[in-house]
């Protein structure tokens, strides 16, 4: 199914200033999905969520994000993008305020759901950047914008922990609400207009998602790859704060410093984008799966709570973040190369599928850690990229 766009944004060279703005915006928006990862302990204590179900704090936000990807992001192929992005950011801002003042598990989880829904603006802005870029610079642009997004993901955890250690976890959500409202105002003023031609109804637009998924094998394959890696990523970062607190006696500030280590993994995004532009997508994909598997294996070499085990845990955090961020750029570049007529829906499907993997990973984290400790958690994390690697080996060269 094709939908022709009357687009006012030309596929020309994207300016450095606009690239930086889009990268920063994506980082600030998507950070909302990850603030709670290192705050699982204090949030569950304050809202009455049992430790075995603490993973829901992260999972519900990711479920909201998936719903937004399936039902809001496709609207970027139908409605004027600038207004759509601004409206969704307002929803996210209100939900963040609600989370800050939540006093019960039900209120917090409902707010978390809408935080996820509103934060899909990041996945409206990423394809927006590709519309404004030329084919020759697309890999580099996606890599640069995604590096901003990934920095937001990785900085969200230490920033949340630092703020929470001084002002409480509620201050994290209140501060983010202010930032998101200001960002909504800025984007509504500086983004160029992109208005697709309204040639299809919303119901048919949503129905076309199934058609796109059935007839786009590269989308199915790349989404599955990333779902496995993101499931391992979410499993790691939802459970590792519990291990750091229990095994190493770390406070929120100590967990923040550990989370800051993972930021180094963001360097993989722009590098991978440039290598993909040189035709190295296939070897880089296989390398991402192998690296992610080795990272979990590394955490099992020295058990317990010694200095050596903490060092290996830090190295694993960096390597895992590099594998996930690099493969994400490879996947998005691959599906954006399919054509521009349905790029918003293709991106929405891709992100929704792999965020389902992330939701599964984060929901398993609390259970696996409470039942089998870090050993069971690491074994599950090790298995996920290995499954992706086995599937990758069935991919024909040049597919």
The enclosing domain of 263 has a CATH number of 1.20.1250.20
pLDDT of residue 96: 97
For 279-313, what is the HEC assignment? CCHHHHHHHHHHHHHHHHHHCCCCCCCCHHHHHHH
Between the CA of residue 195 and those of 55, 72, 179, 341, what are the distances in Å? 39, 15, 26, 13
Contact 65, 170 (CB under 8 A): no
Radius of gyration over alpha carbons of the chain, in Å? Answer: 20
Does residue 49 lie within any of the structural domains? yes
Does residue 242 lie within any of the structural domains? yes
Does residue 397 lie within any of the structural domains? no
Q: How far apart are CA 383 and CA 388, in angstroms?
A: 9
Contact 343, 270 (CB under 8 A): no
Number of domains composing the chain: 1
Contact 93, 188 (CB under 8 A): no
Does residue 58 lie within any of the structural domains? yes
Does residue 3 lie within any of the structural domains? no
Judged by DSSP in three states, 151 sits in: helix
Does residue 256 lie within any of the structural domains? yes
Of 228, 233, 212, give the one whose Cα is nearest residue 347: 212
The beta strand positions in 333-375, using DSSP E, are none
Does residue 263 lie within any of the structural domains? yes
The residue to which tokens 């830090």 are assigned: 314
Q: How far apart are CA 212 and CA 207, in angstroms?
A: 9
Q: How far apart are CA 151 and CA 24, in angstroms?
A: 9
Of 334, 324, 327, give the one whose Cα is nearest residue 218: 334
User: Which domain range does residue 261 map to?
Assistant: 16-392
pLDDT of residue 1: 40
Of 224, 27, 19, 8, give the one whose Cα is nearest residue 138: 19
Distance linking the first and last C-alpha atoms of the chain: 22
pLDDT tens for the chain, 399 residues long, are 443 344 444 445 667 788 889 999 999 999 999 898 888 878 888 888 776 676 788 889 989 999 998 899 888 878 888 899 999 999 999 999 999 999 888 999 999 999 999 999 988 888 787 777 666 666 677 778 877 887 888 789 889 989 998 899 999 999 999 999 999 999 999 888 887 766 677 888 888 888 888 988 999 999 999 999 999 999 998 889 889 988 888 888 888 888 888 777 767 777 887 888 788 889 999 999 999 999 999 999 887 778 888 999 999 999 998 999 889 888 888 887 776 667 777 877 888 898 899 889 988 987 898 888 999 999 999 999 999 999 999 987 655
Q: How far apart are CA 280 and CA 190, in angstroms?
A: 35
Does residue 28 lie within any of the structural domains? yes
Surface-to-core class of residue 394, CB atoms within 10 Å of its CB (0-12 exposed, 13-18 middle, 19+ buried): exposed
pTM given for the model: 0.79
């Amino acid at each position: 199914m094709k939908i022709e766009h009357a687009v006012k944004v030309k596929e020309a060279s994207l300016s450095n200033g606009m690239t930086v703005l889009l990268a920063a915006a994506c980082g600030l928006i998507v950070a909302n999905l990850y603030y709670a990862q290192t705050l699982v302990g204090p949030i569950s204590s304050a809202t009455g969520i049992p430790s075995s179900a603490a993973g829901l704090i992260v999972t519900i936000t990711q479920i909201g994000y998936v719903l937004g990807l399936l039902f809001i992001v496709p609207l970027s192929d139908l409605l004027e993008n600038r207004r759509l992005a601004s409206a969704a950011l307002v929803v996210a801002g209100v939900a963040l305020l609600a989370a800050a003042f939540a006093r019960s598990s039900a209120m917090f989880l409902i707010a978390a759901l809408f935080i996820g829904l509103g934060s899909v603006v990041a996945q409206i802005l990423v394809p927006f950047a590709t519309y404004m870029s030329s084919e020759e610079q697309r890999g580099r642009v996606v890599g640069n914008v995604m590096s901003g997004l990934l920095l937001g993901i990785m900085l969200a955890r230490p920033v949340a922990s630092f703020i929470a250690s001084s002002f409480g976890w509620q201050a994290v959500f209140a501060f983010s609400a202010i930032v998101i409202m200001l960002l909504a105002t800025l984007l509504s003023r500086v983004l160029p207009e992109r208005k697709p031609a309204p040639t299809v109804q919303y119901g048919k637009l949503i129905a076309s998602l199934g058609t796109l998924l059935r007839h786009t094998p590269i989308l199915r394959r790349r989404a599955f790859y990333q779902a496995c890696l993101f499931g391992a990523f979410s499993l790691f970062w939802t459970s590792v704060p519990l291990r750091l607190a229990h095994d190493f006696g770390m406070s929120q500030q100590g967990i923040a410093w550990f989370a800051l280590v993972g930021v180094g993994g963001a360097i993989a995004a722009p590098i991978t984008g440039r290598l993909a532009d040189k035709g190295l997508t296939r070897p880089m994909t296989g390398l991402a799966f192998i690296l992610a598997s080795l990272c979990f294996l590394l955490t099992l070499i020295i058990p317990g709570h010694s200095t050596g085990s903490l060092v290996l845990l830090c190295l694993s955090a960096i390597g895992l973040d590099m594998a996930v961020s690099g493969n994400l750029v490879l996947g998005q570049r691959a599906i954006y190369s399919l054509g521009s007529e349905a790029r918003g829906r293709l991106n929405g499907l891709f992100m929704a599928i792999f965020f389902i993997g992330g939701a599964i990973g984060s929901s398993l984290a609390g259970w696996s850690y409470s039942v089998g400790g870090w050993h069971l958690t690491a074994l599950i994390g090790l298995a996920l990229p290995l499954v992706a690697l086995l599937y990758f080996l069935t991919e024909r060269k040049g597919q």
